[in-house]
Amino acid sequence: MIVLTLALSIGATSAIVSVIDGVLLKALPYRDPNQLVRVFTSNQDYPKFPMNPNDFRDFRARVHSFESFAAYTRNDLQLSGTGQAVRLSGFSVTAGFFHVLGLHPAMGREFDQNDELPGKGHVVIVSDKVWRSRLGGRRDAIGQKVTLDAVPFRVVGIMPPGVQHPGNAYHALAYGDTVDMWTPFTFEGNPNSRGSHYLDGVARLRKGVTATQAQSELTAAMRQLAREHPDADSGWRVLAIPLASEIVGRTERMLLVLLGAVALVLLLASVNAANLLLARATARQREMAVRAAVGAGRERLIRQMLTESVLIAVIGAALGTALASIGVKLLVALLPADFPRTGDIHVDVQVLLFTLLIALGTGILFRCCAGIPWIANRSA
């Protein structure tokens, strides 16, 4: 009964810790992720809104708080000519998008600003999954023509496996390995047109620059644009939000509440185990008296009781780890489709070490609450 009680409580705690570790504690899979921010515009009616393309281009030229700055928007296209036609999830991205995230194509090149020019954007970078499933995984795929929405595009890059989409607001696609291809965003039309807002922004801060400082410079640039384009840009300001907060911020409170709940369950399980051991210790009074009579001292009896308790706790932890592995799979299956970083949730070495420490701690705790005071009193 003690082992089962501990296994259930330790398993539940380890499962929730696995979720917290994967979602909140592990660094995002980008170079120096703490330097990355998402950029939005905001006004009285839209507290967090995408950018206008021409505003973005002006920000990129005028703001110096960023080492690099890119924008992107959802652009799904139908791939045909390589078997059965299939709709692929895609994004149009400005030059330097992968550089901002610290990513590099496994083969080929990234887009440059020449690809942003009208008529120059018929090139595509594909994911490792599309390269293997639709292009045969061939090394000579670079330079190959593919048909997207009945228009020929030339493959210029292939990304490595596991590239993580940083999330977006306009026609949102969930964070994770969810993007099949990337095409260049081309700046067309009147550069004074500022009415449409549909570009999501991501930027890398310069060394020593904070998100608050970058936001101040963006706000100053927005005020200048409002003077230049009063009909479209008046009343807007700019937000620079750390990428990690944007991806997982809304889940943090919920996960911490769950951690508090399972920690309370673990504490109650330890108290119940202590009560069971206290009842067992009472039944073993004659045994302990005999041991003391033949020469066992207080320290020897305490070591014996601790050894028994830790052994029970470790067995409970072993069963709890198995339950945690099952519990993590169930939790991931039950989480909403847009829950961030579900692919990073699993029971790893750090969680196993945490489970072992919990087991040792609870074993010592419930023995201290149960048998040791009784032995001390009897020895006295």
Q: What is the pLDDT of residues 97-122, one digit of tens each?
A: 999 999 999 999 999 999 999 988 89
pLDDT in tens, 191-208: 888 889 999 999 999 999
Residue corresponding to tokens 């980008």? 30
pLDDT in tens, 281-320: 666 666 666 666 666 666 776 677 777 777 777 787 788 8
3 state DSSP class of 172: coil
- Joined together, the tokens standing for residue 149 give 């929405």
How buried is residue 85: exposed, middle or buried, by Cβ count under 10 Å (0-12/13-18/19+)? exposed
- Which parts of the chain register pLDDT below 50? 372-376, 378-380
3 state DSSP class of 148: strand
pLDDT of residue 13: 81
pLDDT of residue 343: 81
CA-based end-to-end distance of the chain: 31
What is the rounded distance in angstroms from the CA atom of residue 119 to the CA atom of residue 192?
20
What is the rounded distance in angstroms from the CA atom of residue 265 to the CA atom of residue 13?
8
Which element (helix H / strand E) includes 68?
strand 66-74
3 state DSSP class of 323: helix
pLDDT of residue 292: 64
Q: What letter would DSSP give residue 144?
A: -
pLDDT of residue 375: 47
Which element (helix H / strand E) includes 49?
none
- Joined together, the tokens standing for residue 239 give 């937000």
3 state DSSP class of 334: helix
pLDDT of residue 338: 74
What is the rounded distance in angstroms from the CA atom of residue 70 to the CA atom of residue 36?
11
pLDDT of residue 297: 60
Q: Which of 30, 19, 90 minimizes the C-alpha distance to 259?
A: 19
Task: Look at the chain and count its residues.
Answer: 380
Q: Which of 195, 196, 202 minimizes the C-alpha distance to 168?
A: 202
Give Cβ neighbours of residue 199 (< 8 Å, ≥ 6 apart): 50, 51, 52, 53, 56, 71, 72, 73, 170, 185
Q: Which of 242, 172, 176, 175 minimizes the C-alpha distance to 210?
A: 242
- Joined together, the tokens standing for residue 82 give 């390589």
